[in-house]
Amino acid sequence: MGEIGFLSRSAMAEPRDEMSGFSEDLAMGRMIRAALTLSGATPSQSSVDPYGQSIAAMNHSAINMRRQLAVPFFTSFLETMGSRLIHFESKKLWTDFDTFFTDSGEPVENHDLNSVAKAFVVYMSVATGALLSQESSGLQGLAGGLHQKATKLLPRIMASGNRIDILHCMLSLVLYSMQSPQGGSTWHLIGLAMKKAIVFRFHHDPHSSINTPEHTLLMRRNTFWSLYIVDRTISTILDRPFNIADDEITVQGPEEYLDDSPHTKNNLARQSIAHARLMSEIRDGASNDILYHHSNLCCWRDSVRGMKGETFASKFTRGVVMQLSSRAMVEILKSVDSANFESNMINKPQTIERDIVTTCSEYIEHEYQRFDCGEFTGGFVEAYDIFAAAVVILCLARRSNPSFADMDTINKCTALLTMVGERFVGLRVFRRVVWALSDAVSGNPKSDPIIHELPPMIPDGIRDFITETYAYDETLAWLTRRKWR
């Protein structure tokens, strides 16, 4: 399939007009379909999975969604994904949901374009919500069938020219792919969505001479910032380049156009945007000083904990903050060179190292508690975050303080990775790497050699951190031998 190779080659090409960077005969709709055919079982790689496509196609004909079945999944989606992304309006989405079932006597394909786009989002929200539910292991067929129904509507939506609808539908595909290996390549899908947003100039506010309705302007801005959050998330965990640099963005941020009252909706989504900007600063900012980035992260974390009302009180929100904090700690360590890291650790060893290890451990513990209660379903984003947290704990233990490596935490980590590996089979190797690092820290002379020949799906930053840890360890051993000769 020629589209696949083209997608990979042009992943970071900056579009300058509607078709810039695209081959003449390859429209955006075909590129999306190509991205959907890629297997998501190993998110960092691009390969077609004919078997998975066949299974998904078989699911389509048997699905007949009923409102009573869909309500809990739609609710689950809005309470999780919906609360983290600023473009979701719960009241409007519930209205669209009710309208969908009111009009369900007539085939969706016969509806007007506006209704088709709404039906697409309903299908995808219920499908993703099913994968986020406690019964997700038995709902793969339902989710896959709804995904197939939605993608059949995509050509009409792409041809409609409604820019907000197009991006909302593309974003829905991205969110589904984060939970399902049959959802296509998340990396390619978010890249295409961000490219489309740039073509539509959503990263800039409309010129003042253009009379844009206030609600349209709000939706443009919110849609872009939701894409921004997902782009930073996927690019960070996979160690891939961002699809747009911060200095190319001039659209107003939420702090400029939304009310700052304590009762403002989407507080978590707004904090997620602030975190995404922080990740950009850590990776691409002028400073690579670990103390500087750690201080900024602490300020963000304190501001989230200080949110008024019931927002931070919820178990879900606390878990999100733990996950984002752990991811940022990992990114800080990945973004500083070993010499800079060591010099800063001399200045504040206990403060920084202990906070990093505590933050990563708390995140793993939180996810394990969810697992124990049957609430952890595990998308691949969680797998990468959990794996990275465990690597950081074990490598810091290897470098400086063996007490950091709490084996109970590491055992919980491997249990979580085992579960995620049942869905995303390409990620099963994460568990093996964690066990190998654990054996090395405990001094087991027969530790798995995989840590010296890391597989390709290990992100580059994590790979470098592991490699530097063992290079540092071997250098220290050599110096010790020299000293006692």
Reported as a single tens digit per residue, the pLDDT across 21-78 is 444 334 777 888 888 888 777 787 766 655 455 555 555 545 678 899 899 999 999 9
The string of pLDDT tens digits covering residues 387-431 is 999 999 999 988 777 766 788 999 999 999 999 999 999 999 999
Cα distances (angstroms) measured from residue 402 to each of 40, 94, 132, 406, 451: 36, 51, 36, 9, 18
Q: Which of 252, 286, 318 is the last residue of a domain?
A: 252
Same domain, 235 and 265: no
**Domains contained in the chain, number:** 2
- Note the pLDDT of residue 340: 55
Same domain, 154 and 188: yes
Same domain, 191 and 313: no
How far is 26 from 19, CA to CA, in rounded Å? 9
How far is 18 from 27, CA to CA, in rounded Å? 9
Residues 402, 408, 413, 416, Cα dihedral to 10°? 170
φ, ψ dihedrals at 62, nearest 5°: -95, -5
Examine the pLDDT at 472 and tell me if it is beyond 60. Answer: no
Same domain, 32 and 90: yes
Q: Which of 252, 273, 299 is the last residue of a domain?
A: 252
Higher model confidence: residue 400 or residue 361? 361
3-class secondary-structure state, position 38: strand
Given a contact cutoff of 8 angstroms between Cβ atoms, the answer to whether 70 and 124 are in contact is no
How far is 130 from 144, CA to CA, in rounded Å? 10
Same domain, 284 and 227: no
Same domain, 112 and 218: yes
Same domain, 156 and 177: yes
Q: Which of 252, 285, 300 is the last residue of a domain?
A: 252
Same domain, 274 and 211: no
Beta strands in 24-66 (DSSP E): none
> Helix H segments across 258-314?
267-284, 290-305
Using 50, 70 and 90 to split pLDDT, how confident is the model at 215? very high
Same domain, 228 and 286: no
The string of pLDDT tens digits covering residues 303-323 is 888 765 555 558 888 999 999
Same domain, 161 and 92: yes
**Full residue range of the structural domain in which residue 18 is found:** 2-252
